Amino acid sequence: MQGNRSRPARILALVILCLICLVLPAHADMGPKPDLTVTVVNAPEGACYVDLLHEASGQNLFPMDETGYDPQLIASLRTLEGDGWQLALLTGTGGIPIFGDLTPNASGQYVYSYHGLPDTFRLAVATSQGAQAVEQPYTRNRFHTVLVYDWSTNTLTERTPAALYYLIQLSSTLVPTLIIEGLVLLAFGFRQKRTWLIFLLTNVVTQLGLHLFCSNQIVSSAQGQFAYYLMLMTLPELIILVVETAVYLSCLREHSMGRRAGYGVCANLASFLIGFLPLHWLFSLFRSL
């Protein structure tokens, strides 16, 4: 009887082992890059150039090629430089490049990306009515940042409030984790209400901790290749595996210590590998928040 009940656990462990063997080696620059998307509203008719003012440090490299752009609007933008602030696209960001354009893309948005994207900046905008920059610097704390700039008030705001943004992030990993690890819990033969309560509380606490310390890494891994996800999230997930297994060993009352430990290991490996799929599908949502 005991052997029959442990058969699902052995099958699940074998499946997970096979999945691990399929993982490809990670490469140095395979991961996604941070990006910034800006939508401009209430701007005057005609061309609108947008750049990022950042605090200059060191040599200016990778200035933008100005060929094909309106020289008057570029000159207007340059009047905003000074007091240690310089334009990231037009003048450069030092030794690390930034990708982007002064003009909007086909969707009417201004997109900037790569490692040269400043952490702190002031948005600089030039139109036929002149140039202006927001007075209060904005500091990015998201991997994918989406902002709205209002020309009429010269203000910059986040499209999605921080509380809602992080709630969506938490749900994106917590819900798949509860589903996957709950199914594994059933496969291991755990049925008591007390067990399910401990399971729920443990996962909520560990997922909250994961997002508090690794929120940007979680979002970036949604865009990356599968091997990149494994490389980035292995250490935090290993810590969660150890913590949750210790909790199950000490707090659960059903079955043997060996089965509790086996569940902790198999459940976390399953959610780590299989749980990446829904997170990857949510990448487009993360980039729009």
DSSP 153: T
**Whole-number pLDDT of residue 125:** 97
Within-domain flag for 260: yes
Please indicate, yes or no, whether residues 56 and 22 belong to a single structural domain of this protein: no
Please indicate, yes or no, whether residues 68 and 89 belong to a single structural domain of this protein: yes
Last residue of a domain, one of 76, 107, 139: 139
Within-domain flag for 192: yes
Please indicate, yes or no, whether residues 170 and 259 belong to a single structural domain of this protein: yes
Give every strand in the sheet of 144-150, ordered side by side.
109-113, 35-41, 144-150, 155-158
Please indicate, yes or no, whether residues 101 and 180 belong to a single structural domain of this protein: no
Within-domain flag for 149: no
Domain count, the chain: 2
**Whole-number pLDDT of residue 60:** 65
Please indicate, yes or no, whether residues 130 and 188 belong to a single structural domain of this protein: no
Q: How many Å apart are CA 51 and CA 88, to the nearest integer?
A: 7
Please indicate, yes or no, whether residues 47 and 25 belong to a single structural domain of this protein: no
Within-domain flag for 248: yes
Distances in Å between the Cα of 129 and the Cα atoms of 40, 48, 188 are 15, 10, 69
**Whole-number pLDDT of residue 142:** 85
Domain of residue 249, residue span: 2-30+162-288
Beta-bridged to residue 87, according to DSSP, are: 53
Within-domain flag for 166: yes
Paired tokens of 29 = 């620059």
Question: What sign results for the dihedral spanned by CA atoms 268, 285, 102, 66?
Answer: positive
**pTM > 0.85: yes or no:** no
Q: Beta strands 144-150 and 35-41: pairing type?
A: parallel
Residues 6+ apart with CB under 8 A from 150: 41, 42, 156, 157
**Whole-number pLDDT of residue 48:** 97
**Whole-number pLDDT of residue 281:** 66
**Whole-number pLDDT of residue 45:** 93
**Whole-number pLDDT of residue 213:** 79
**Whole-number pLDDT of residue 65:** 87
Query: Could you identify the residue written with the tokens 């994106």?
Result: 172
Please indicate, yes or no, whether residues 129 and 194 belong to a single structural domain of this protein: no
Which H or E run includes 50? strand 49-55
3-class DSSP state for residue 266? helix
Please indicate, yes or no, whether residues 130 and 171 belong to a single structural domain of this protein: no
Please indicate, yes or no, whether residues 256 and 278 belong to a single structural domain of this protein: yes
Alpha helices in 22-144 (DSSP H): 71-78
Q: How many Å apart are CA 23 and CA 103, to the nearest integer?
A: 40
Within-domain flag for 238: yes
Paired tokens of 37 = 């998307």
Please indicate, yes or no, whether residues 120 and 179 belong to a single structural domain of this protein: no
Q: How many Å apart are CA 76 and CA 71, to the nearest integer?
A: 8
Please indicate, yes or no, whether residues 75 and 183 belong to a single structural domain of this protein: no
Alpha helices in 79-192 (DSSP H): 162-187
**Whole-number pLDDT of residue 165:** 83
Within-domain flag for 36: no
Q: How many Å apart are CA 6 and CA 25, to the nearest integer?
A: 33
**Whole-number pLDDT of residue 286:** 65
Within-domain flag for 153: no
Please indicate, yes or no, whether residues 195 and 109 belong to a single structural domain of this protein: no
The amino acid at 26: A
Per-residue pLDDT tens, the chain, 289 aa: give them: 444 545 544 544 444 444 444 444 444 444 567 889 999 999 999 999 999 999 976 566 678 889 999 999 999 999 999 888 999 999 988 777 899 999 999 999 999 998 889 999 999 999 999 999 999 999 998 888 999 999 999 999 998 888 888 888 888 889 989 999 999 999 999 999 999 999 999 999 999 998 887 776 666 665 555 566 666 677 888 899 999 999 999 999 999 999 999 999 999 999 887 876 666 666 666 666 6
